[in-house]
Amino acid sequence: MSNDQPAEYWRETRRPFCNLIFLMPLLLVYEIGVELACQPGGPSIRNGADAWMRLWLYQVGIESGWLLPSLLLGTLLAWHFSSRQPSRMAWDTLGGMAAESLLYAFLLIMLGQLIDYMFRQAAMVRFQVADATYHSFLIRLVTFMGAGIYEEFLFRLCLLPISYAAFRAIMVPKRWAIAGTVVITSIVFSLAHYLGPVSDGLGLELVANAVARVQSSRELWFGFAFRTIAGMFFAALYFFRGFGITVGAHAAYDVFVGVILVSEI
């Protein structure tokens, strides 16, 4: 990518083929890391959207294994071939995407600090992060990396288009459909962090319990508000900068706060 082609870089980073090449190493590191970290018969370190989607596959009789990452990559491939875009890219584009991911992760950290300050000024309880020091450094690194990959797969690549299509199906104007999609999926994204153990399933009762838990626990309000705004942040990245950079920013943020600051969104 030459210096006189910023517009081409902007377009290229949003193409599914470029996203596929950018995300494949990250996905392989996570999946291989999980396989190496999990002891036979021991507890799984998979959590969040990764564990939920594997549970859904298991409930319909599918032992997922490598099926879930294959579905992610297959979705990008299907998008690529259906859009009939060229199967080429400038390799320095990957460096630009990595730099952008780090930049947006830093912006989200600053946003979190601002929201924390606002909650403190309003004399509200600050969100207390969970202590994850019982995990080794490498296990925490792998775990938080995977959260960024699969949460974006579920909430942005899958749920955003479905929600938008539903709004448009009931004749909601395009601008309002986008706004409604961003708000609703961001609330769902935030609420998902307060569900019970994945072994309990994901029924309506579990969701209702999560709503009641957040509503009745003042110390959870900061976390819920921040995660909702973070969901909107990631949705905006998805719309304007594409899926790959959104995953990169989410993974970079989670790794920083989950490994270095021992926190997560």
User: How is residue 258 annotated by DSSP?
Assistant: I
pLDDT tens for 161-172 read: 999 999 999 999
Helix (H) or strand (E) holding 203: none
pLDDT surpassing 60 at residue 1? no
Boundaries of every domain in the chain? 6-260
How many residues can be counted in the chain?
265
Q: What is the pLDDT of residues 182-198, one digit of tens each?
A: 999 999 999 988 886 65
Tens of pLDDT, residue by residue over 2-61, are: 455 778 899 899 999 999 999 999 999 899 888 887 766 556 677 788 888 888 888 888
Mean pLDDT across 119-146: 64
Structure tokens at 28: 């392989």
Contact 149, 30 (CB under 8 A): yes
Least confident stretch, 42-51, 99-108, 180-189, 233-242: 42-51
How far is residue 4 from each of residues 33, 47, 85, 103, measured CA to CA in Å?
Answer: 40, 43, 22, 22
Q: How confident is the model at residue 209 (pLDDT cuts 50, 70, 90)?
A: confident
Name the more confident of 132 and 100: 100
Chain position carrying tokens 């899926």: 243
Question: What Rg do the C-alpha atoms of the chain give, in angstroms?
Answer: 19
How confident is the prediction for the chain on average, in pLDDT? 84
Q: What is residue 72's predicted lDDT score, i.e. its pLDDT?
A: 94
- Give the C-alpha separation, 160 to 153, whole Å: 10
Provide the pLDDT for residue 130.
Answer: 45
Res. 263 pLDDT band, cuts 50 70 90: very low
Contact between 122 and 204 (Cβ < 8 Å): no
Q: What number of H helices and E strands is found in the chain?
A: 11, 0
Question: Residue 238, exposed/middle/buried by CB under 10 A (0-12, 13-18, 19+)?
Answer: buried
